[in-house]
Amino acid sequence: MKKLLIAGCFALAAWCQAESLIPEGDSWRESGVKEGIWETYYDNGAIENKGVYSDNKMNGLFESFYKNGKQQSKGVFDNGRKQGLFEFFYENGNVQSKVTYSSDSREGLYEEYFQNGKLKKKGAYKDDREEGIWESYYDNGQLESKGSFQNGRMEGAYEAYYSTGKLKEKCTYKNGKREGAYESYYSTGKVRSKGSYAPNKSLGFFGL
């Protein structure tokens, strides 16, 4: 669950540093400070990125596009910092992920989707760290895993499931590490292993 996919999340910020940026109109001061509308293009002439600079800082809506013209991502910058909802899209137009920022830090609801539009992962951020319940799903809609975070670390009960809905494993986390009873199961429902975890080590496993 820690491998949170936020594909392309920094693309809107990274492209502004590319040397291939093409200014439109009076968007480059003599001092070399970026000002006004800036755009980049693919080799076929299609627009790749566009946004507005104010005093060399990103301000307002920034957008990126696929080579076929469909939107890849969009989000708003305030004085160079991400602010508000950022959205990322698959090439087929479906939403890939949504995340909210407050002064460049992730804050609030996060959602991620499969290309078919079904929910893949959901949770929340607080001060740029995972907080509260996080859930991941299979592309058939079945729950894959569920756990709780506190200050960016897993805390409390964790459960994982097979795509059929049967329990795969369950355990408890403390400060980001497994602690206490642990059980895992085969897809048939039979016990695969049982044991217990102490901080930084495991004890008493059997049935492996």
pLDDT given at position 8: 45
39 close to 63: Cβ distance less than 8 angstroms? no
Structure-block tokens of residue 10? 């920094």
% of residues, the chain, pLDDT over 70: 81
CA distances from 132 to 124, 152, 168 (A): 7, 9, 22
Instruction: Tell me, yes or no, whether 88 and 143 share the same domain.
Output: no
Instruction: Tell me, yes or no, whether 116 and 25 share the same domain.
Output: yes
Of 129, 163, 178, the residue at which a domain comes to its end is: 129
Instruction: Tell me, yes or no, whether 59 and 75 share the same domain.
Output: yes
CA angle 86, 87, 88 (to 5 degrees): 130
Q: Which residue has the higher pLDDT, 28 or 34?
A: 34
Instruction: Tell me, yes or no, whether 155 and 102 share the same domain.
Output: no
Of 109, 129, 149, the residue at which a domain comes to its end is: 129
pLDDT given at position 32: 75
Instruction: Tell me, yes or no, whether 183 and 97 share the same domain.
Output: no
Instruction: Tell me, yes or no, whether 114 and 41 share the same domain.
Output: yes
DSSP 12: H
pLDDT given at position 78: 95
96 backbone φψ class: left, alpha, beta (φ>0; ψ -120 to 50): alpha
Instruction: Tell me, yes or no, whether 72 and 165 share the same domain.
Output: no
> Which CATH number does the domain housing residue 63 bear?
3.90.930.1
* Domain span at 140: 131-208
Spatial neighbors of 45 by CB under 8 A, at least 6 apart, are none
pLDDT in tens, 51-95: 999 988 999 999 999 999 999 999 999 999 999 999 999 999 999
Cβ-based neighbour number of residue 178 at 10 Å = 19
Rounded distance, CA 172 to CA 75, Å? 37
User: Rounded to two decimals, what is the model's pTM?
Assistant: 0.78
Give the total number of structural domains in the chain.
2
pLDDT given at position 200: 60
Question: In this predicted structure, which of 24-33, 83-92, 93-102, 116-125 has the lowest mean pLDDT?
Answer: 24-33
Closest CA to 112 of 90, 142, 81, 82: 90
Q: How confident is the model at residue 34 (pLDDT cuts 50, 70, 90)?
A: confident
Instruction: Tell me, yes or no, whether 92 and 109 share the same domain.
Output: yes
Instruction: Tell me, yes or no, whether 100 and 138 share the same domain.
Output: no
pLDDT in tens, 159-184: 999 999 999 999 999 999 999 999 99
Of 129, 161, 194, the residue at which a domain comes to its end is: 129
- Tokens 């200050």 found at: 151
What mean pLDDT do residues 97-115 have?
97
Question: In this predicted structure, which of 26-40, 76-90, 110-124, 142-156 has the lowest mean pLDDT?
Answer: 26-40
